[in-house]
Amino acid sequence: MKIVGVSASARKNKSTRFLLEQCLDELKESAAAQGKGKGLEVEVIDLAALRFHGCLACDTCKKGVKCSQQDDFQELIPKLAAPEVAGIIVATPVYMGCMSSQAKAFLDRTVLFRRNGFMFKNKLGGVIAVGGSRNGGQELTIQAVHAAMMIHDMIIVGDGDHFGGTGWANHSDGHQGDTTGIATARNLGRRMAEVAALMRE
């Protein structure tokens, strides 16, 4: 069983990636504490390292699990199609009150999995949003990503309290000092581990 974390920031190794790693660390630690860590893998896909555009609506994917655009999204198709992928956590910065264009392009391109037998159906979905402001649109952003996950017929997991991870990059102590945001991301990881364990039973 694998949980894939997608960092959808334009920047490598900044606050979005940091909170995603916090979430995945907690996921692994919680699974181990429940005695369910064996066979649980996590993998990070960092979109900042990849070059791809949004969907062209060419409908090539209506004829099979394939995409006409020969760009870096091609390498994600086998990774995400793998049956051992049990869940996807999308971490995105808040850009103009919603998800990054990287996150939107990624989600739009995943339509090919929906068009080929709802391949994400019953996979777990969790979301982390990081803003430059404490209340800069994190919850709205999370809900927008949730909408795409619901369109895939995924099972949405929150942080056990609210919507998911909500980070504040410009905390006076830096994003590493955003203890509230870190707690929400780690709580999402804990909930993902709990629900993944239930799914395995």
- Residue 109 near residue 52 (C-beta atoms within 8 A): yes
**Dihedral sign from CA coordinates of 107, 111, 116, 117:** positive
Q: Could you give the string, one character per residue 84-113, with x where binding to ligand FMN holds by CB under 6 A and - elsewhere?
A: ---------xxxxx----------------
Piece of 14-22, 51-59, 143-151, 188-196 that binds ligand FMN (CB under 6 A): 14-22
3-state secondary structure of 20: helix
Among 1, 4, 6, 15, binds ligand FMN (CB under 6 A): 15
Q: What does the chain come to in residues?
A: 201
Based on the shown chain and the rule CB under 6 A, indicate whether residue 130 belongs to the binding site for ligand FMN: yes
DSSP H or E run through 194: helix 179-200
Looking at 53-178, list the stretches that DSSP marks H as alpha helix, in order from N- to C-terminal side: 76-81, 101-109, 111-114, 138-151
Based on the shown chain and the rule CB under 6 A, indicate whether residue 132 belongs to the binding site for ligand FMN: yes
* Residue placing its CB nearer to ligand FMN in the complex, 166 or 187: 166
Positions in the binding site for ligand FMN (CB under 6 A):
9, 11, 14-16, 93-97, 130-133, 136-137, 169
